[in-house]
Copies of this chain bind each other. A is one copy, B any other.
Amino acid sequence: MARQKKTDTDLSTEEKIKEAARKVFTRKGYAATRTRDIAEEAGINLALLNYYFRSKEKLFHQVMVEKVQQLFSVIAPIVNDSSISLESKISRIAESYIDMLLKHPDLPIFVLSELRNNVPSFMNIVHPEKLIRNSSLVTQLKKARPDINPLHFLANILGMVLFPFIAQPVFVAALALDARQFKQMMEERKQLIPAWVKAMLKTK
């Protein structure tokens, strides 16, 4: 079989390679990933990877763009929707973020650790400044607590949501938690985090 029809069940070779790349890059990071690992995972010859993507670097870049978007696009529409109240925003962020991360637990540590190597390359893709400066959420936070930099609350929400996933291996090993218990805990946090943030906003 050489070329595949563009129609039909087109999980093409190209997409098979990209899927394998997503898996291996996300689990091991750029530097620890060998192009041969990806080829093997995809069940294809190594040369095919370079035939379709030119280089490890270019393949990684495509995956990275996807993953950065995946990490930011969950909250972007919520944060910027001025028709949603502050409390609703926080609930929806917690809920949709946790739901997504339960499916992709190693996304945050992957993106954040790769991003620190070269933030600028991916800055123009996500524009995280739009998630913050003058976003509806930040405006609402400023109004609720004019005395505190709204970035504090953003850091709190993201920290409470993302940190358990980032530290998951340690928590799991330290407490002999199994996957079910971890999931249960994160499900609880969908309710708890909004209540906690609400309480935090009321401190004087």
Q: A-side interface residues toward B, CB under 8 Å?
A: 28-32, 106, 109, 112-113, 115-117, 119-120, 123, 128-129, 131-133, 148-149, 151-152, 155-156, 158-160, 162-164, 166-176, 185, 188-189, 192, 195-196, 198-200, 202-203
Contacts and interface: CB of A to CB of B under 8 A. Distances in A.
A188 B29 contact: no
A116 B169 contact: yes
Nearest to A30: B32
A113 B29 contact: yes
A132 to B, nearest CB: 6
The number of times this chain is found in the oligomer is 2
B188 A199 contact: no
Given A148-B192, A163-B158, A173 B120 contact: yes
Nearest to A127: B174
Contact of A167 (B112, B167, B169): B112
A185 B151 contact: yes
A164 to B, nearest CB: 5
Contacts of A164: 155, 159
A179 to B, nearest CB: 15
Given A31-B31, A106-B116, A151 B163 contact: no
A113 B119 contact: no
A11 to B, nearest CB: 29
A196 B29 contact: no
